[in-house]
């Protein structure tokens, strides 16, 4: 029996930085690309299946650096494709500011263990 996995990618954004819409979108795209590259190395089947089934992405928010780093650490701890974005600081933010974290593509039930308490951006 072949079971289609329920896969998604979640991106968690720091709301406290008050980034504009274009800046936010660029940071989320950075996280998406970086976390996809991690998935390709870690579990290419997760990436391929997610890619072929519409690449679902969920954008969530946290309100501090501490919350973001905690999510990032949990992603690594659970051995999921995880990537934190640190801004180059050319516009709006100081160099090295952590703006968002991407987790997945990975099975929804594994990601939910980490992000189920968070609200949509």
Q: Please select the residue that binds a second copy; options are 30, 46, 71, 75, rule is CB under 8 A.
A: 30
Element housing 39 (H / E)? helix 21-42
In the three-class reduction of DSSP (H, G, I as helix; E, B as strand; rest coil), residue 110 is classed as: helix
Q: C-beta of 64: minimal distance to a second copy in Å?
A: 18
Which CB atom, from 57 or from 74, has the smaller least distance to a second copy? 57
Q: Distance (Å, rounded) from C-alpha 31 to C-alpha 29?
A: 5
Task: Please report the DSSP string for 60-80 in residue order.
Answer: EEESSHHHHHHHHHHHHHTT-
Q: Distance (Å, rounded) from C-alpha 97 to C-alpha 9?
A: 22
Per CB under 8 A, the segment of 32-40, 62-70, 72-80, 109-117 that binds a second copy is: 32-40
Q: C-beta of 52: minimal distance to a second copy in Å?
A: 11
Query: What would the x/- binding string for a second copy be over residues 49 to 88, using CB under 8 A?
Result: --x--xx-xxx----------------------------x
Q: Is the dihedral of CA 10, 16, 21, 24 positive or negative?
A: negative
Q: C-beta of 55: minimal distance to a second copy in Å?
A: 6
Which residues of the shown chain bind a second copy in the complex (CB under 8 A)? 11, 13, 21-22, 24-26, 28-34, 36-37, 51, 54-55, 57-59, 88, 120-121
């Amino acid at each position: 029996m072949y079971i289609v996995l329920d896969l998604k990618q979640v991106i968690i954004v720091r709301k406290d930085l008050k980034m504009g819409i274009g800046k936010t979108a660029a940071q989320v795209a950075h996280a998406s690309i970086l976390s996809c590259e991690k998935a390709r190395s870690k579990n290419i089947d997760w990436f391929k299946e997610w890619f072929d089934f519409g690449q679902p992405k969920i954008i969530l928010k946290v309100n501090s650096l501490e919350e973001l780093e905690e999510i990032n650490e949990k992603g690594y701890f659970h051995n999921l494709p995880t990537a934190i974005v640190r801004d180059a600081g050319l516009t709006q933010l100081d160099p090295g500011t952590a703006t968002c974290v991407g987790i997945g593509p990975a099975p929804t039930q594994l990601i939910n263990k980490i992000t189920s308490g968070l609200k949509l951006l």
